[in-house]
Amino acid sequence: MRYFLRRIGFLLFTAWAALTINFILPHMMPGNPAQVMLAKFQGRLSPQALDALTKAFGLNTDKSLFVQYIDYWKRILTGDFGISLTYYPSRVIDVLAESVPWTLGLVGCATIIAFTLGTLLGIFSAWRRNSALADALVPVALFFNSIPYFWLSLLILYLFAYHLGWFPLAGGYNIYSMATGIALLPSIVHHGVLPLSTIVITALGGWLLTMRNNMISVRADDYVAFAHAKGLPDREIKYRYAARNAILPSITGFSMSLGFVIGGSLLTEVVFSYPGLGYILYQAVTSLDYPLMQAIFLFISLGVLIANFFTDMIYALLDPRVRDGGV
């Protein structure tokens, strides 16, 4: 119980720190969002209209930073993130409601596929070490793991979408299609193949190398040698004894790498003009849309923290030594 209380306390403190940084960073950016909105109307707004616009968006610089910070927490607790400058007059919460499912679907599917394939290939590479195929996986994994997301996105987009024409160049679905609901799923899958493949290919190498190193370390343990001496089947030793213990550090790495995967997916969405958080974040940054930027950072920060919390809980259930203070 003490372990779970410590993790909950750490989650709350980290969430407070992340949300505070989320408030400070946008306010350190140069420029005035209201001036950006004024430029869009090419000076057709009067100073009185500009002042009203500034107050409507919660960007009133007459308030002190501390008062703005208190108002910021009030908005978070009430779920009122204001109005988006980029998608005016839409509310920020409505913009997020449209884009969050796209990112969740993309990141969720890519993470599960990359983790599963990387783990299985890592087990194979370690168990069949010194074979040509198993050893060839290591440099290939290192190569793809070192490629930046945006560079691979541009390469895949040019080759498979522009040059070969197998997949669409941009978007999340066919905007000219009259299909709705489940009938739209084939179009969504078709548009999501390239961004999904980019994230999977880039993240796959890290999981493979991590699991391979863990398996090699576990193979040298006494209980594995004892299982061989008992004459147990090789498949049973590999999965029931070796892989079961070797996967524990990978679970911890899963939560730690989730932030990198999300960051890479944001860049990927920009390249493919995928209608997720990354694409609207790019537009929010270029427009100095404080309310939208803060809401996106809030969602990403809380999402990563909650995922880390549940990973710690799962790890404690799998390894009792963690919650008992043994490790």
For residues 53 and 210, the model is more confident at 210
* Number of structural domains in the chain: 1
**Average pLDDT across the chain, whole number:** 76
User: In this structure, what CATH number is given to the domain that contains residue 112?
Assistant: 1.10.3720.10
Q: Is residue 205 part of a domain?
A: yes
* Residues 1-33: tens digit of each pLDDT: 677 778 788 888 888 888 888 777 766 666 555
The count of other CB atoms within 10 Å of the CB of residue 214 is 23
Q: Is residue 168 part of a domain?
A: yes
d(CA 100, CA 293): 14
Please list the alpha-helical segments (H only) found in the chain: 2-28, 33-40, 47-56, 65-78, 92-127, 132-145, 149-156, 185-219, 222-229, 234-236, 244-272, 277-286, 290-318, 320-323
* pLDDT at position 45 over 60: no
* pLDDT at position 325 over 70: no
Is the entire prediction scored with pTM above 0.75? no
Q: Are 277 and 266 in contact (CB under 8 A)?
A: yes
Q: Is residue 307 part of a domain?
A: yes
Q: Is residue 291 part of a domain?
A: yes
Q: Are 137 and 208 in contact (CB under 8 A)?
A: yes
d(CA 273, CA 313): 36
Return phi, psi of residue 83, to 5°: -105, 140
Asked which of 41-55, 97-111, 153-167, 203-217 is least confident by mean pLDDT, the reply is 41-55
For residues 140 and 220, the model is more confident at 140
Query: What pLDDT, on the 0 to 100 scale, is given for residue 78?
Result: 80
* pLDDT at position 255 over 70: no
Domain span including residue 176: 98-315
Q: Is residue 202 part of a domain?
A: yes
**Residue in this structure with the two tokens 């730690």, named with its chain if needed:** 256
* pLDDT at position 116 over 80: yes
Within 8 A by CB and 6+ apart from 141, the residues are: 121, 204, 205, 206, 208, 209
Mean pLDDT of 242-265: 72
d(CA 267, CA 261): 10
Q: Is residue 16 part of a domain?
A: no
How far, in Å, are 46, 231, 264 from residue 42 at the CA level?
A: 11, 81, 36
Q: Is residue 287 part of a domain?
A: yes
Q: Is residue 40 part of a domain?
A: no
Query: What pLDDT, on the 0 to 100 scale, is given for residue 86?
Result: 75
Residue 33: closest CA among 64, 52, 54: 54
Query: What pLDDT, on the 0 to 100 scale, is given for residue 276?
Result: 82
